[in-house]
Structure 1
Amino acid sequence: MERTNVFVVEGDKALWVLADNCARLYNELNFERRHAYIHYRKFPWYPKHLYRKYAPLVGSATAQQIINKNNEA
């Protein structure tokens, strides 16, 4: 089972930066969620600190959707 998403991004550098920041947000969410599960066996949280960190970079709606999709996983 492959657990990565691979995208080919061609074009403007801004797209590269946006895609990179989205991937970073998703990866940090996964890391913190796994860390919380391993140490505390639960994770009923909303990562406001990551939202505040990435919302200016990727946009607030995009950050919220990434967090929501990560919560579904």
Structure 2
Amino acid sequence: MELKEILYQLIQESSDGLISKSDLEQAGDDLKSLGLNSLAKITFIVFIEEEFNIAIDSNIMASGVLDSLSKLISYIETKTSV
């Protein structure tokens, strides 16, 4: 499965299904526009850490990496061999 599709799935799971694949496609690169609440964001981070066996520190969260699909993909690729 492509990394983008994995992240789409993790976002949908972390939002308890409130965000659809159509919502994700409309948002494009702008993950911030999805309006995830704080609990969903934390859940999303935990899912990413578990799925890719990486740790996301607070500096990365503050840098806006989690607001952009392309930045998040690049970050994960640098931390893994995906």
Q: Is the pair's TM-score, using the shorter chain for normalization, greater than 0.5?
A: no
- The structure with more radius of gyration: 1
- TM-score, normalised to structure 2, is 0.29
